[in-house]
Amino acid sequence: MLRLLQRFFRLTLLLLIASPAFAWNAAGHRISAMIAWEQLDADTRAAVTTLLHQHPDFDRWQTRGKGVDQGLTAFLEASTWPDDIRKDQRFYTAGVEEPTPTLPGFPDMERRLDWHYVDHPLNPAGNLQSSPGKIDRQLEVLAQTLWSRKATPSEQAYALPWLIHLVADAHQPLHAASRYGRDGRSDNGGNALAIINPYNTRHPSMNLHRYWDDLPGPPWLRTSRLESAVKWLTERHPPPASAGTPTLWLDESWQIARERAYPPGEESVPTISAAFHERALEIANRRVTAAGYRLAGLLQHLLRGAKKPRGTGTNDPPAPRNVPRETESSP
């Protein structure tokens, strides 16, 4: 009983720490995943389903998702899994909690909170050499794991949900940037900036990061309503001009964060205006949609090798080409 109470208080403390919040809420991740699924060819869908079936939480995903298509259900549930494990007591937060027993199929039980973001400074007060967060590096590592013929199915099954999730995270502007005050302190991607959001009548007081996370829709968005949201978005937002690379996606997010993500003015607790909200909604819709298209292209590229026997071909994906930066135009 004492151990349970201690774990509860550690988890409560963890949730109160000003650390990066969930990048896009569950709706944003499911939207990007559904868009990607609709773009995948049959072979890639089959390869994805085979890998996810080997994930230790596959049966949990089927129970929770309650879908008819097991592959799609697993894909959608996997898209939120790296956020879901933040509240899962099988897992622990390194440096805050004691390690939990490693269960079969997992490399370890860490929540890996620093994989979700990279805090590149938006102003000179920040130190580029000490930007926390690992999303830029982890996207490359996870992609390499899926491509490699040397990786085990268990390693690939663990990497795939993370890759699905982090591609979407990379398109959330405040997961690529932070403002620094004159005292050198970071606002943790807007987590430390309180705002008033009159467009959320239930919880108008929130931080800027959560405001951006919630823009794609309510976290309970599923089934036919999810399908309708995806149809609406893909009809209005075609695939981006360039598929790009993780570096490009994060650079786009950083540019948006610098120019568009923060409310104008010098108020200590700014109020979101109608004009800002309309523009932010347009940006968020475009970003979650682009993430879906880009995820599909990435998975089809990486899993092409799944049809080749192990030990044939190269183990290294082609070096990504430099592509022009996609600019954000005013809505």
47 occurs within a structural domain? yes
Residues 6+ apart with CB under 8 A from 207: 21, 190, 191, 192, 193, 194, 195
17 occurs within a structural domain? no
Q: pTM of the full predicted structure?
A: 0.87
Residue 86 sits in which domain range?
Answer: 31-92+108-307
151 occurs within a structural domain? yes
Contact at 8 Å (CB) between 69 and 259? no
Instruction: Give every residue of the chain whose pLDDT is below 70, as ranges.
Output: 1-22, 125-131, 305-331
* pLDDT for residue 310: 44
Q: In this structure, what CATH number is given to the domain that contains residue 223?
A: 1.10.575.10
* Closest alpha carbon to 38 in 81, 69, 66: 69
8 occurs within a structural domain? no
162 occurs within a structural domain? yes
* Closest alpha carbon to 314 in 143, 141, 150, 163: 150
* pLDDT for residue 23: 73
Contact at 8 Å (CB) between 188 and 167? no
Q: Characterize the bridge pairing of strands 194-196 and 177-178.
A: unpaired
Q: Where are the alpha helices (DSSP H) in 237-314?
A: 246-259, 274-303
Structure tokens at 247: 């570096």
* pLDDT for residue 304: 81
- The beta-strand segments (E) located in the chain are 120-121, 177-178, 194-196, 205-207
* pLDDT for residue 145: 97
Structural domain count, the chain: 1
282 occurs within a structural domain? yes
